[in-house]
Amino acid sequence: MSTPSRAYIAGKLRSFAMFGDLADEDLVILAEMMTFKRYAKGAFILTQNEQGVAMYFLVSGRVKVSLASPEGKELALNYLEAPAHFGEMSLVDAEPRSADVIAVTDVEAFALDARDLSSAIQLQPRLALALIGTLSRRVREMISRLEDMAFHDATHRVMRVLLNVATASYESSGVPIIEGLTHYEIATLAGTSRETASRVISQLGKDGVVGTKGRKIVIDLLALGQLLESN
Ligand code: CMP
């Protein structure tokens, strides 16, 4: 495996909003703290309950954050798309890894060793704010999910997952699409069966709220938002 140059790593780090305003020389110092990692599709990048020794900056590909029950059942917590970071929780609270993180596609990431986190924050204090921002967003997502589990049925939860994923896509790339997620993966995020997820998506298609383009699902964000409000 060829190791990319510091300049390549520094260039990739620029795509993270939190590093956007760093001076070139500081970005190079930061790049020197990072180790380039490559994972094949299906590989476990982090395993729940292990000790955390590094956090990761995802520069290409997609990962799944999930929990597995002793019987082998899976609960997907989230899918993260580059640029994104993960593995910071056990570094900041010194507890074991909270979940598995699995490569859904081939993945490239930069690992920042736990011992270098303080130096990285001194170099770029916005990193600390970005980590807090991510944690706060995740708590909000969990609250919303808990609310859906307690107060709403599976149809509503599937619609919520579609709206959340398509909104994230709209915010990052300007198009409200769901790409690369199977109906099974949508179902695990919604805490329901694949059959239910497919039935809901098919009904929304008949209602003109979602459309399919090959393997992509295109969402009418406004219409789906209104449907959720009234449901
Ligand atoms: P850590 O606990 O060190 O290892 C597992 C990582 O998964 C965790 O840090 C977070 O970065 C990430 N993670 C845990 N829960 C969620 C979630 N609900 N959404 C997105 N990422 C998560």
What was the pLDDT predicted at 63? 94
CA dihedral (103, 105, 111, 117) in degrees, to 10, reads: -70
Block mean pLDDT (10 aa), the chain, length 231 = 78 88 90 94 97 96 91 87 94 96 95 96 92 93 89 94 90 85 90 94 95 89 92 74
pTM of the model: 0.86
What was the pLDDT predicted at 12? 87
What was the pLDDT predicted at 81? 87
What was the pLDDT predicted at 178? 92
State the Cα–Cα distance between residues 154 and 162, nearest whole angstrom.
Answer: 12
Q: Whose CA is nearest to atom 6 of ligand 1?
A: 87
What was the pLDDT predicted at 1? 54
- What would the two tokens of residue 195 be? 């059959």
Pocket of ligand 1 (CB under 6 A): 46, 52, 65, 77-78, 86-90, 97-99, 101, 138
Pick the atom of ligand 1 nearest to 85's CA: 11
> How far is the centre of ligand 1, averaged over its atoms, from the C-alpha of 67 (Å)?
10
State the Cα–Cα distance between residues 112 and 173, nearest whole angstrom.
Answer: 27
